[in-house]
Amino acid sequence: MVRAAAQTGRRVVRRAPGILNRFQHPAQVIVVGFATVVLLGTGLLASPIATESGQAAGLLTALFTSTSAVCVTGLVVVDTGTHWSAFGEWVIAGLIQVGGLGIMTLATLFTILVAGRLGLRARIFAQAETKTLSMADVRHVVRKVVVFSLVCEAAAAVVLTGRFLLGHGEPFGRAVYLGVFHAVSAFNNAGFALWPDNLMRFVADPWICLTIAAAVIVGGLGFPVVFELLRAWRRPGRWSVLTRVTVGVTLILLVGGTLVFLATEWDNPRTLGALDDQAKVLAAFFTAVMPRTAGFNSLDLAGMYPTSWLATDLLMFIGGGSAGTAGGIKVTTFGLLAFVIWAELRGEREVIVGHRSLPQSTQRQAISISLISVALVAVSTYALLALTPHSLDQVLFEAVSAFGTVGLSTGVTADIAPAGQVLLVLLMFIGRTGPLTLGSALALKDRTRRFQLPEERVIVG
């Protein structure tokens, strides 16, 4: 090899094997980063000082809670406000913040602050996490993401603190604590609450419900969409396809979900039936927002009709916007698939969205994400049915909620067998990192086919 190198005039450099060389693909680093934070959070929550009783929590309980927080889900097997101490609750809030911003976003920020420069590999990693469209603006985007997140959380915390202080008689210190915790949980679409009934006690309080709903919507739109709306909110004609699809589908789902819950639960004495008309509209809107994927609830989900569970399943599966804190297959994926179907029904060769042609690679990615997600939910639901005595609609609700990183539950999460809870942990992790991200992280290298085979048409349908 030395002789061959000397003859060609090239210098041969051997890289020492190590952890950094094992994970060359950005998706691999993202998955490993999230897994590392989950394990770190598990260790902190498993310590005796993390619980109110002073006794160490079980390993599965700590792992489940840590995964739910890092993956900004909100599913719990113990009551957050009574089981965990103040230290444990701050650990959960910190894990939510890290999971919401993204491991690579924080790592890129630290690189900028310490080194004052951003290397090519760090730019690639940050681009994969923030889903920016240009590597040149990664540094600027990361700064904007962090600052914007903190500003939104601070604004929500101020409103919530004032309401808890003035409207519900909480002491100042407690009001600040509740305001900050729930602002972080809401903006990052986590759904963790510090009351046993989540937010049911505030079902008719517009200050609490609308503030949390607004934080959930803004955090779930996705940072690229939010930044573009801030720049050109008066000029919708100049919006990108991403922003048009995200905003359009989001409005349709919010309005449609609100109307569905109003029509379905209007006379249900366990949900909307006991409220006045104004509170019914507020509660229905709040319930339509949360499957985006926040996980807060102001109504008793266990008391809902099965038809409302099915509607919630669909909303949870779709989720929120890309490059945001929401989960699911994303509203952009759902919207693009609708355009693909419309083009196929019209017999058009190209898929047109907003006077732009949709690349075939994007179409394949949307189809792949959707089918992989359906398969994961179906297999997980089957496994949970075999492991638990609960009904199909309850088990399906839990599986979709975990995969969509939502956190809504019909109240059976704590009753699921340990094997089923481990399965939910895996679903939450996969739902946060993304099916295609996880698949590419496990791939050793990209494969390029250097030949093209003859086509053959196959009968479909």
Q: Give the total number of structural domains in the chain.
A: 1
- Among residues 328, 420, 428, 344, the alpha carbon closest in space to that of 382 is found at 420
- What is the residue whose two structure tokens read 């919006």? 239
User: What is the average per-residue pLDDT within 296-321?
Assistant: 94
Q: What is the pLDDT of residue 29?
A: 74
Least confident of 136-150, 156-170, 275-289: 136-150
Q: What share of the chain is helix, strand, coil (3-state, %, to 5)?
A: 65, 0, 30
- 268 pLDDT exceeds 90? yes
Q: What is the pLDDT of residue 141?
A: 73
pLDDT, greater one: 437 or 41: 41
Q: What is the pLDDT of residue 19?
A: 44
Least confident of 62-66, 103-107, 319-323: 103-107
- What are the DSSP calls for 224-257, one per residue? HHHHHHHHHTT-GGG--HHHHHHHHHHHHHHHHH
Decide if 196 is inside a domain: yes
Q: What is the pLDDT of residue 66?
A: 96
Decide if 409 is inside a domain: yes
Q: What is the pLDDT of residue 12?
A: 44
- 207 pLDDT exceeds 60? yes
Decide if 6 is inside a domain: no
Considering the entire predicted model, what is its pTM? 0.86
Residue 156 CA, distance from chain mean position: 19
Percent of the chain with pLDDT over 90: 58
* CA-to-CA separations, 133 to 136, 141, 444, in angstroms, rounded: 9, 10, 25
Percent of the chain with pLDDT over 70: 83
Decide if 461 is inside a domain: no
- What are the DSSP calls for 50-109, one per residue? GBSSSSPPPHHHHHHHHHHHHTT----SS-HHHHB-HHHHHHHHHHHHHHHH-HHHHHHH
Q: What is the pLDDT of residue 270?
A: 94
Decide if 449 is inside a domain: no
Decide if 2 is inside a domain: no
Q: What is the pLDDT of residue 8?
A: 46
- 359 pLDDT exceeds 60? yes
d(CA 17, CA 349): 48
Residue 324 CA, distance from chain mean position: 7
pLDDT in tens, 362-411: 888 888 889 999 999 999 999 999 998 899 999 999 999 999 999 999 98
d(CA 308, CA 268): 11
- 28 pLDDT exceeds 60? yes
Type of residue found at 86: A
Structure tokens at 229: 């709306």
**Any bridge partners for residue 357, and if so which?**
352
Decide if 457 is inside a domain: no
- What is the residue whose two structure tokens read 């996880």? 438
Q: Where are the alpha helices (DSSP H) in 346-417?
A: 360-387, 392-403
Q: Where are the alpha helices (DSSP H) in 190-347?
A: 206-221, 223-232, 241-265, 277-289, 306-318, 331-345
Decide if 212 is inside a domain: yes
Average per-residue pLDDT for the chain: 85
Contact status, residue 250 vs residue 221, Cβ threshold 8 Å = yes
Q: What is the pLDDT of residue 24?
A: 53
* Range(s) of the domain holding residue 135: 17-441
- 224 pLDDT exceeds 90? no
> What does the DSSP 8-state code read for residue 298?
S
Structure tokens at 166: 């003035």
Confidence label for 140 from pLDDT (cuts 50, 70 and 90): confident
Helix (H) or strand (E) holding 352: strand 352-353
- 157 pLDDT exceeds 60? yes
Confidence label for 9 from pLDDT (cuts 50, 70 and 90): very low
